[in-house]
Amino acid sequence: MRFDTRVRLTDPLNARQLDVLRWIADGCPDGVMSGDSHKLTARALESRRLVVVTKRKGCWSAAVTNTGHYYLTVVGRDVGVG
């Protein structure tokens, strides 16, 4: 038996995912996120094609994709947080 594990773009993000997506959209400013859990959340957002995460020479970075910007401006406003 196969299950469809794909996430639809219109599926709502939880509060933490939305906070991290907004933080990444704001340029990942220092002093907002503590610890490293936001990095795991960012990877979950990457699996939904909302962000791209890179780590080069020990430097972690993330950027919002066009799909992520769409979610923030259209879907996130209409659907809200799940």
DSSP output for 50-73: SEEEEEETTEEEEEE-HHHHHIII
Q: Is residue 4 included in any domain, yes or no?
A: no
Q: What are the pLDDT digits (tens) for 1-10?
A: 665 556 676 6
- Spatial CB neighbours of 56, under 8 Å, sequence gap ≥ 6: none
Separation CA 32–CA 68 (nearest Å) = 20
Confidence of residue 74 (pLDDT cuts 50, 70, 90): confident
Q: Is residue 9 included in any domain, yes or no?
A: no
Q: Is residue 6 included in any domain, yes or no?
A: no
pLDDT surpassing 80 at residue 80? no
Please give the residue range of the domain that contains residue 64: 15-75
Here the tokens at position 31 are 């002093």
Confidence of residue 28 (pLDDT cuts 50, 70, 90): very high
Q: Is residue 19 included in any domain, yes or no?
A: yes
Q: Is residue 28 included in any domain, yes or no?
A: yes
Q: Is residue 40 included in any domain, yes or no?
A: yes
Q: In the chain, how many domains are there? A: 1
Q: Is residue 80 included in any domain, yes or no?
A: no
